[in-house]
């Protein structure tokens, strides 16, 4: 790469020594986890104190977090830690699928892909010529769309001519692309764990680098926050559609959780999938993506956490040098709920699929930062987290009704879900497993939890804290998540303290308040043939009649 490159200015443009760690090319073209799992993992970490150094489980934390806010509103958290000469960066934007308007589902996730395509300075051989071609192509696409919208589908010959001209412009623009240049710059400079992910509430970009590449990282990330170019747009749209087919439409877990969120949320805008509805994804345009970016990707809507072997003052100076000049862009106000409150009453949906039966039982919960969230996290751990949990001991190993059964908490910005997830063991059915899981939930609201069980959960919290500390990246994620969702990075420390103080009486109150039939959603995955037989019999089992409307939402 030449030393005249606008980002790799001398003396940092020479090839860096290769990292001794394998370069992990992360999931820009696919999620490594479904959003619910990601949120549950964050919730578990947020209930645990992260302790620096080699502190013993149970000790109180001593975190040296340097907190800054740039004039443009960007929040910066820096944690200096002695160790390997590396650092981890976690740049979180407070935008996810919850912020998408009707007809634009999947746009936040699509933007995550596009932001790896480069900028005016990265990923192109001639930025001015390329941008001119892209503008001409977009104008012709608009004309083609208008033509096809005319009565009878418009003039077929004119539509064909427009398409040929579009294809020619796209081919010329493609010839100017320096493909994967951003990835290659990172790789050549020793990056590991380069990745990105989109959730319902946030989008985050992460990477770990040698500490002497801090200025390079700042130049790269500030450049794509300031001036991205959405090149290869329509080819990448096809990639996203293929991702939807692979991770949602052809995977039982993807179909099941898509149905769960669609059924559980009637008021809050969490009902559509993160990857988006197919028709909406096909309709995305470069102009719409640019508008969405300008609305939500301002520095004042971002939290940056840097953790590693860094000098705090010099680190902040570098961050300010590159990010402070980016203009703030105030995001639009959140969309109001579709209704004042979620209608009471159990909701059901059935997902027919050629796979092992599976049951999800979910209860709506308050948002991240609510005083009841730590206690609900304890309830989820006690019920279904690990080999000593009630579901494992009673349902999987005791009665042997299921071969797997877990519980987790997914706290979101505007709400959340407490989820039980299980698969029946033959010859037991999904209905058998559902009944057993509900009996375990009922125990939480009728029987006080023993002190022994609470102590076991407290030990799990301490153990999770120690394990989380092994990674600079994990700590950066926790800090950025708490700062973004609760408005204060201290919350993830406070949440663990509150969780360890939860009593048996607290759990009884929480179970009786939230884990109720009126607040429950049940989604069942059944073999396709069984679902067809139910329909032919005219039964009103789960998923019949009105419940199918919930599934289609």
What does the CA dihedral 100, 226, 79, 499 come to, rounded to 10 degrees?
A: -10
Instruction: Encode pLDDT of 86-122 as tens digits.
Output: 999 999 999 999 999 999 999 999 999 999 999 999 9
Is 283 domain-assigned? no
Residue 18 pLDDT exceeds 90: no
Using 50, 70 and 90 to split pLDDT, how confident is the model at 527?
confident
Instruction: Return the higher-pLDDT residue of 21 and 6.
Output: 6
Question: By residue range, what is the domain housing residue 143?
Answer: 125-176
- Residue the block writes with tokens 């994620």: 477
Whether 282 maps to a domain, the answer reads no
Question: Is 150 contained in some domain?
Answer: yes
Q: Is the pLDDT of residue 489 over 60?
A: yes
**Residue 312 CA neighbour count, 13 Å, CB half:** 12
The confidence score (pLDDT) of residue 469 equals 75
Between CA 70 and CA 225 the distance in angstroms is 15
Does the residue 38 lie in any domain? Answer: no
Looking at residue 110, its pLDDT comes to 98
The token duo for 324 is 């402070």
Tokens representing residue 194 in the block = 């380069």
**How many domains are contained in the chain?**
2
What count of other Cβ atoms lies within 10 Å of the Cβ of residue 439? 12
Q: 30 vs 221, which has greater pLDDT?
A: 221
Cα–Cα distance measured from residue 360 to residue 458, given in angstroms and rounded to the nearest whole number: 26
Residue with tokens 């990745």: 195
Q: Residue 23 CB: number of other CB atoms within 10 A?
A: 16
Task: Tell the residue number behind the tokens 């995305």, with chain if given.
Answer: 284
**96 within 8 A of 274, measured Cβ to Cβ:** yes
Question: At which of 157, 176, 195 does a domain end?
Answer: 176
The mean of the pLDDT values for the chain is: 86
pLDDT for the residue numbered 530: 64
Is the pLDDT at 52 greater than 70? The verdict is: no
| Helices and strands per DSSP (H, E), number in the chain | 20, 11
Q: What is the CATH number of the domain that holds 510?
A: 3.30.830.10
DSSP secondary structure letter of residue 299: G
Q: 39 in a domain, yes or no?
A: no
Residue 166 belongs to a domain: yes
Q: What is the mean pLDDT of residues 32-44?
A: 38
Residue 27's pLDDT is 38
| Overall average pLDDT of the 319-329 stretch | 97
Label residue 61 by pLDDT band (50, 70, 90): low
CA distances from 515 to 345, 368, 457, 495 (A): 12, 17, 19, 21
Q: Are 365 and 418 in contact (CB under 8 A)?
A: yes
Res. 280: pLDDT tops 70: yes
Q: How far apart are CA 173 and CA 166, in angstroms?
A: 11
Please give, one letter per residue, the 3-state secondary structure of 169-227.
HHHHHHCCECCCHHHHHHHHCCCEEEEEEECCCCEEEEEEEEHHHHHHHHHHHHHHHHC
Q: Is the pLDDT of residue 375 over 60?
A: yes
What is the reported pLDDT for 463? 85
3-state secondary structure (DSSP) of residue 66: strand
Rg (CA), the chain: 25
Confidence at 59, pLDDT banded by 50, 70, 90: low
**133 domain-assigned:** yes
Tokens representing 296 are 């939500």
Distance CA 367, CA 258 (A): 20
Position 169 pLDDT exceeds 70: yes
Please report whether residue 148 resides in a domain. Answer: yes
What's the pLDDT score for residue 25? 29
pLDDT digits (tens, 9 = 90+) for 27-36: 333 333 333 3
């Amino acid at each position: 790469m030449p030393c005249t490159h606008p980002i790799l200015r001398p003396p940092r443009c020479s090839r860096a020594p290769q990292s001794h760690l394998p370069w992990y090319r992360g999931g820009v073209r696919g999620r490594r986890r479904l959003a619910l799992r990601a949120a549950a993992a964050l919730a578990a970490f947020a209930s645990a104190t992260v302790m620096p150094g080699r502190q013993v489980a149970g000790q109180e934390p001593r975190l040296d977090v340097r907190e800054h806010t740039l004039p443009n509103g960007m929040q910066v958290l820096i944690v200096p830690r002695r160790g390997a000469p590396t650092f981890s960066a976690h740049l979180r934007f407070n935008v996810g699928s919850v912020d998408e308007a009707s007809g634009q589902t999947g746009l936040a996730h699509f933007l995550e892909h596009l932001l790896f395509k480069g900028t005016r300075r990265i990923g192109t051989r001639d930025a001015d010529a390329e941008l001119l071609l892209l503008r001409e192509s977009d104008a012709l696409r608009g004309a083609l769309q208008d033509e096809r919208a005319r009565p009878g589908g418009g003039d077929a010959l004119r539509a064909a001519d427009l398409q040929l001209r579009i294809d020619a412009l796209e081919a010329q623009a493609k010839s100017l692309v320096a493909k994967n240049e951003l990835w290659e710059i990172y790789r050549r400079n020793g990056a590991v764990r380069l990745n990105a992910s989109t959730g319902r509430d946030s989008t985050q970009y992460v990477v770990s680098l040698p500490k002497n590449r801090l200025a390079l990282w700042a130049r790269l990330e500030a450049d794509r926050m300031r001036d991205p170019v959405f090149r290869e747009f329509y080819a990448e749209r096809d990639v996203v559609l293929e991702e939807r087919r692979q991770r949602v439409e052809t995977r039982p877990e993807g179909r099941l959780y898509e149905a769960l969120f669609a059924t559980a949320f009637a008021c809050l805008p969490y009902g559509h999938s993160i990857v988006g509805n197919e028709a909406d994804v096909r309709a995305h345009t470069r102009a719409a993506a640019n508008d969405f970016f300008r609305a939500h990707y301002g520095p004042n809507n971002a939290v940056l956490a840097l953790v590693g072997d860094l000098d705090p003052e010099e680190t902040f100076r570098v961050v300010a040098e590159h990010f402070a000049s980016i203009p703030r862009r105030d995001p639009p106000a959140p969309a109001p709920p579709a209704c004042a409150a979620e209608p009471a009453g159990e909701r059901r949906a059935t997902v027919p699929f050629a796979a092992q039966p599976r049951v999800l039982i979910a209860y709506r919960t308050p948002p991240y930062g609510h005083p009841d969230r730590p206690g609900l996290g304890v309830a989820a751990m006690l019920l279904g987290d690990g080999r000593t949990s009630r579901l494992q001991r009673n349902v999987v190993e005791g009665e042997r009704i299921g071969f797997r059964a877990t519980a987790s908490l997914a706290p979101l910005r505007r709400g959340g879900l407490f989820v039980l997830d299980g698969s029946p063991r033959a010859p037991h059915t999904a209905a058998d497993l559902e009944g057993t899981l509900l009996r375990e939930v009922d125990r939480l609201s009728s029987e006080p939890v023993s002190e022994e069980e609470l102590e076991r959960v407290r030990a799990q919290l301490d153990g999770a804290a120690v394990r989380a500390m092994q990674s600079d990246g994990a700590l950066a994620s926790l800090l950025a998540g708490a700062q973004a969702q609760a408005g204060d990075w201290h919350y993830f420390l406070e949440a663990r303290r509150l969780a360890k103080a939860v009593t048996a009486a607290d759990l009884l109150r929480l179970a009786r308040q939230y884990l109720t039939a009126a607040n429950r959603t049940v989604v069942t995955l059944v073999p396709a043939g069984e679902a067809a037989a139910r329909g032919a019999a005219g039964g009103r089992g789960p998923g019949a009649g009105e419940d199918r409307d919930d599934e289609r939402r």
